A and B are shown apart, each in its own frame.
Chain A
Amino acid sequence: MPDSSSVLSGAAAPGERLLQVLIRYGLLWLLALIVVFFSVVEPAFLRVGNLFSILQSVSIVALLALGVTLTMAVGGLDLSIGAVAAMSLMIASYVMVVLGWGAVPAVLISLAGGVLVGLLNGWLIVRLRVPDILATLGSMFLVIGVQLIPTGGRSIAVGMTLPGGAEAEGAFSAAFLALGRGRVWQVVPIPVLITAVIALSVWLFLERTRVGRLFYAIGGNEQAARLAGAPVPRLKLLAYVLSALLASLGGLLLAARLGRGDVSSGNGLVLDALGAALIGFAVLGAKKPNAFGTLIGALLVAALLNGLTMLNAPYYTQDFVKGLVLVLALMFTFGLAHRAR
């Protein structure tokens, strides 16, 4: 998106221009710098296998982050995505392991569950006018609780003992596990492929369709969008449904990777996803939620963590590094951009 202010200030002092460049490309440079640095220090970093394992580690968080990006675009926020991912993981495991229904019903029922939570969120926010953070926080707790009831709070594993004392008969089907573990042409992990397709779709949707531009219009000024004739309630509902749908897709990929319905899974993903979407604000000086930025944000964090692990950096530096990148990105987005005005 060409920013008109940057065009105008092109004739300004060189210092100003440098600042503009810094704001636009700062994070991309940082990413390049990280890649170069780690490749020099540890040559294994740049091998194809490792690059794909970085992408693999990004794919699930990126899906959730893309969902959050959609809700951020309409000026909202979806805190329930982590819980929805966890629920989808539990539903899929339950359908396959306890009910023994196979992969296709598992995927469909999980996605339907996600859509249901999205509708609930949208309904709370649009119809009942509950503030978005509160509404999705509420549904987050609700979903975390609901997913525990069918199994009595237990994790779902093949051969588990059911609350009644019997043993679960079903198993994760090979086709389902391939969703999280398989590779195309022996190289590209399937989750990476799925996330790439989704990311491209979200990008096209937000940047190239009329509905996508209406999303941004609502996020910019809801009142103005309403007066201009945009069906605001319906579009906001759509944003929350899409967000929950992507989150449940993320949960499915997680289930396929873990091969187990782990009650503690998923809930921790929400912060990483939010972080990626927020870092995305700064990419290319967009100053707004955008799919490309979100992807770069997720990638930046994952590349850093992968490289640091290769260099044997201790685990407790991880959160610190994530926070550092986020604060840096916020500085690019708000602090520097403000000064450039």
Chain B
Amino acid sequence: MHGSIKQFARHCLAAALLSSVALSAQAKALPGAPAPFDKGEVNIALVGYLFSGDFPEAYLRGVEQQTEALGAKLRVFDARQQAASQGEMIDQAIALGVDGIIVQLGLAETLKAPIERAIAKGIKVVAFDVDLNTPQVTQVEQDHHALARLALDQAVKDNGTRFDAGYVFISGFTPMERRDEIWRQLKQDNPGIVEKARFGTLNPPIANSVADQASAVLRANPGISVIFAPFDEFAKGAKIAVDEAGLGRQVKIYSADISTADIQIMKEPDSAWAATAAVNPQVAGAISVRSLAMLIAGENPGHQVLVPPTLITRQQLLDLDVKNVRDLAQKLPAFGDTANVARAPWIPVAN
């Protein structure tokens, strides 16, 4: 019984989401563009693993705007974190006869077979932040190395090359592992930087569980002056613990990712959260669409397209009086810039 109720609610939500998207997406011709964009009959499907949360929502917005600028028609499939149904939705998109598919997140195991069926039918495929390991698929990814480097460079700039650090890390996830490589490199290059404690958990609510851990770590290592938390939920937890220990002025937190909630927390008085490096999800969405458009038009965006991150400091947020992510994209031009990656002269850039 509970299953059907859950599904009912899901269907209502999915229907609401789809109808709003269907209204906004309409195909129109793009004169002067290579075929098939010159005729304006291009259909694109976005098959997403999840669309809830600040990041995926903004990603979806980026996809919608860039698709509209291209005059293509967008269909959105929301698998609501069900890996199996994401696979089925790709088959559905194939049956609808779309020209290209964007796969957002998910599990490579369940996606591989339907993606191969799509490629066999001549449908172009772009994958965002899920490694499908197929040569015909263009991989759009956040540049995790650059992301960690930006945050850590700022940490070194603020604190010098001698400090005790707490490190929040969980292995087993590609983004975290890539970010970890830069952290290890930094420690190797600077013997003065000492990792006093390593902790982290994905026990939900994540921020709450990490806060409990960070409390223990801060008590056990009073010398810690820097916490590197390369995932914003981790940073939130660390921030709670720093506040509870009353160490807001002694400890600085450097992290990755950004959301509206993060911006508010970073701006709090005496906030220990000094800086974060993040990819603008909206830009990532636009880049995914542009890469796909180039594939459909017979151009080559490359096998791997990296979305460059931006450094965002607490001071910038305060100086510019940033209220949310949308505001940030307007006030911090580097964060809002969509023009650099996967560009072709005929592709209009969404603003």
Q: Interface residue count for B (Cβ, 8 Å)? A: 54
Contact of B13 among A153, A258, A269 (CB under 8 A): A153
State whether B264 touches A157 (Cβ < 8 A): yes
State whether A315 touches B264 (Cβ < 8 A): no
Please choose the segment from A274-282, A303-311, A331-339 that sits at the chain B interface, where 4 or more of its residues have CB less than 8 A away.
A303-311
A264 to B259 alpha-carbon distance, docked (Å)? 15
Contact of B215 among A56, A139, A181 (CB under 8 A): A56
The residue among B3, B16, B52, B216 with the most chain A CB atoms within 10 A of its own CB is B216
- Return chain B residues, CB-CB under 8 Å to A319: 203
Please choose the segment from A14-22, A43-51, A67-75, A202-210 that sits at the chain B interface, where 4 or more of its residues have CB less than 8 A away.
A43-51
A87 part of interface (Cβ distance < 8 Å): no
Question: Chain B 47-87, CB within 8 Å of chain A: the 1/0 string?
Answer: 00001111001000000000000000000000000000000
Contact of B219 among A47, A144, A257, A311 (CB under 8 A): A47
Given contacts A49-B245, A153-B51, contact A312 B263 (CB under 8 A): no
Given contacts A145-B9, A154-B57, contact A258 B220 (CB under 8 A): no
Contact of A306 among B57, B201, B216 (CB under 8 A): B216
State whether B5 touches A155 (Cβ < 8 A): no
Given contacts A264-B204, A310-B220, contact A53 B212 (CB under 8 A): yes
Contact of B240 among A49, A50, A257 (CB under 8 A): A257
A262 to B207 alpha-carbon distance, docked (Å)? 10
State whether A258 touches B205 (Cβ < 8 A): yes
A207 to B200 alpha-carbon distance, docked (Å)? 40
Question: Chain A 291-316, CB within 8 Å of chain B: the 1/0 string?
Answer: 00000000000100111011110110
- CB A336 to nearest CB in B, in angstroms, measures 30
Which A residues between 116 and 174 are near B, CB-CB below 8 angstroms? 134, 137-142, 144-146, 148-149, 152-155, 157-161, 167
State whether A266 touches B205 (Cβ < 8 A): yes
- CB B232 to nearest CB in A, in angstroms, measures 11
- Return chain A residues, CB-CB under 8 Å to B205: 254, 258, 262, 264-266, 268-269
Closest to B57 in A: A154
- Return chain B residues, CB-CB under 8 Å to A230: none
Which B residues between 263 and 296 are near A, CB-CB below 8 angstroms? 263-265
A195 to B170 alpha-carbon distance, docked (Å)? 31
State whether B170 touches A315 (Cβ < 8 A): yes
Given contacts A258-B208, A258-B240, A312-B198, contact A307 B203 (CB under 8 A): no
- Return chain B residues, CB-CB under 8 Å to A153: 13, 51-52
A154 to B55 alpha-carbon distance, docked (Å)? 10
B326 part of interface (Cβ distance < 8 Å): yes
- CB B269 to nearest CB in A, in angstroms, measures 11
B197 part of interface (Cβ distance < 8 Å): yes
State whether A160 touches B220 (Cβ < 8 A): no
A236 part of interface (Cβ distance < 8 Å): no
Given contacts A141-B5, A258-B205, A258-B236, contact A310 B13 (CB under 8 A): no
- Return chain B residues, CB-CB under 8 Å to A53: 212, 215-216, 219, 241, 244-245
A137 to B1 alpha-carbon distance, docked (Å)? 10
- Return chain B residues, CB-CB under 8 Å to A148: 9, 13, 52
Instruction: Please classify the interface of chain B as helix (H, G, I), strand (E, B), loop, or mixed, using the class held by over half of its residues.
Output: helix
State whether B244 touches A189 (Cβ < 8 A): yes
Contact of A315 among B9, B57, B201 (CB under 8 A): B201
Which B residues between 1 and 55 are near A, CB-CB below 8 angstroms? 1-3, 5-6, 9-10, 12-13, 16-17, 51-54
- Return chain A residues, CB-CB under 8 Å to B203: 268, 318-319
Q: Interface residue count for A (Cβ, 8 Å)? A: 59
Closest to A315 in B: B201
Closest to B8 in A: A145
- CB B288 to nearest CB in A, in angstroms, measures 21
B136 part of interface (Cβ distance < 8 Å): no
- Return chain A residues, CB-CB under 8 Å to B2: 134, 137-142
B101 part of interface (Cβ distance < 8 Å): no
The residue among A56, A138, A160 with the most chain B CB atoms within 10 A of its own CB is A160
Contact of A149 among B13, B204, B216 (CB under 8 A): B13
State whether B216 touches A146 (Cβ < 8 A): no
Closest to B263 in A: A159
- CB A37 to nearest CB in B, in angstroms, measures 14
A6 part of interface (Cβ distance < 8 Å): no
A249 part of interface (Cβ distance < 8 Å): no
Contact of B10 among A50, A145, A265, A307 (CB under 8 A): A145
- CB A180 to nearest CB in B, in angstroms, measures 9
The residue among B211, B220, B243 with the most chain A CB atoms within 10 A of its own CB is B220
- CB B29 to nearest CB in A, in angstroms, measures 28
- Return chain B residues, CB-CB under 8 Å to A258: 205, 207-208, 236, 240
- Return chain A residues, CB-CB under 8 Å to B326: 161
Question: Chain B 168-206, CB within 8 Å of chain A: the 1/0 string?
Answer: 001000000000000000000000000001111101111
State whether B13 touches A309 (Cβ < 8 A): no
Closest to A156 in B: B261
- Return chain A residues, CB-CB under 8 Å to B13: 148-149, 152-153
A27 to B214 alpha-carbon distance, docked (Å)? 27
Closest to B202 in A: A315
- Return chain B residues, CB-CB under 8 Å to A57: 211-212, 215
State whether B52 touches A159 (Cβ < 8 A): no
State whether A265 touches B260 (Cβ < 8 A): no
A142 to B206 alpha-carbon distance, docked (Å)? 23
State whether A50 touches B215 (Cβ < 8 A): yes
- Return chain A residues, CB-CB under 8 Å to B9: 145-146, 148-149
State whether B245 touches A138 (Cβ < 8 A): no
Given contacts A257-B211, A265-B208, contact A158 B261 (CB under 8 A): yes
State whether B208 touches A260 (Cβ < 8 A): no
Q: What are 15 residue pairs bridging A and B, where the CB atoms are less than 8 Å apart in the complex?
A: A50-B215, A53-B219, A53-B244, A138-B1, A140-B2, A144-B6, A181-B240, A254-B205, A262-B205, A262-B207, A263-B52, A264-B205, A267-B204, A306-B215, A309-B213
11 new A-B contacts, CB < 8 A, other than A157-B264, A257-B211, A268-B203, are A50-B219, A56-B215, A57-B212, A149-B12, A153-B52, A159-B263, A260-B261, A262-B207, A309-B213, A310-B220, A318-B203
